[in-house]
Amino acid sequence: MYKTGSVVSYGSSGVCRIDGEIRQRVKGEMKQYLVLKPVFRDNSTVYIPLDNNKLMSRLKPVITDTEAEEVISAMSDCDERWISDDGQRTVLFREILSEGDVKRVAMMVHSLYMHRKSQLAKGRKLHASDEHFFKDAEQLLFDQLAHALGIQPDEVGGYLTRRLAARLA
């Protein structure tokens, strides 16, 4: 089904390399797991039970360089509506991060970025939970874009700034 060595995107873990399968006993029951190693985080391993369809459905192909450019272009056209209800916003952001759909994550990052900018202009900060969501979403987005564009995640911010500025010029 999934080939060892393939690169995939997995929910909030981001870009991962499939390291193989392993059989382990958990709570007295033997289960088969897919083993993933996040590409940009060396000290982490993700185990997905092969019989858990919900978790397996979070495995997605990584985006291509063309798709990365489309995501970046879409960010500059993003509608900046802010969800003022903390509860609704939290549910939505958790869902987006859990699914790991790069286009939705990019829109989330853009929305949080613009709201943060607006708050700073008023002498305020982002709510702590929004700041955490922003960092998690940014990491997920930067991992995907870095992999697709052949750069490091810490180079993505500058790349985005240059690309989005060029579009607005």
- For residue 2, is it within any domain? no
Cβ-contact 130, 120 below 8 angstroms: no
Digit-coded pLDDT (tens) for 152-162: 999 999 998 88
At residue 16, the pLDDT reads 95
- The dihedral formed by the CA atoms of 1, 64, 48 and 13, expressed in degrees to the nearest 10: 170
Look at residue 39 and tell me if it is in a domain.
Answer: yes
CATH of the domain at 24: 2.40.10.170
Q: What secondary structure does DSSP assign to 133-154, as a single string?
A: HHHHHHHHHHHHHHHHHTS-HH
Residues 128-137, mean pLDDT to the nearest whole number? 95
User: Do residues 114 and 80 lie in contact, with contact meaning Cβ atoms separated by under 8 Å?
Assistant: yes
Cα gap 72→151, rounded to integer Å: 15
What pLDDT, on the 0 to 100 scale, is given for residue 166?
73
- CB-count burial class (<10 Å; 0-12, 13-18, 19+) for 146: buried
Residues 93 and 159 in one domain: yes
Question: 144: domain CATH number?
Answer: 1.20.58.1290
48: nearest Cα among 90, 93, 94, 100: 100
Contact criterion met (CB below 8 Å) for 13 and 36? yes
Tell whether 44 is covered by a domain. yes
Q: φ and ψ at 27, to 5 degrees?
A: 50, 45
Q: Looking at the structure, do residues 100 and 135 belong to the same domain, yes or no?
A: yes
Tell me the two tokens of residue 26.
Answer: 């958990």
Give the SS3 label for residue 96.
helix
- Does some domain include residue 126? yes
Per the structure, the count of domains in the chain is 2
In this prediction the pTM is 0.85
Give the pLDDT band of residue 63 (cuts 50, 70, 90). Answer: very high
Q: Which residues constitute the domain of residue 22? A: 7-61
| Together in a domain, 119 and 49 | no
Q: Looking at the predicted structure, is the pLDDT value of residue 26 above 90?
A: no
| Pair 57, 88 in one domain | no
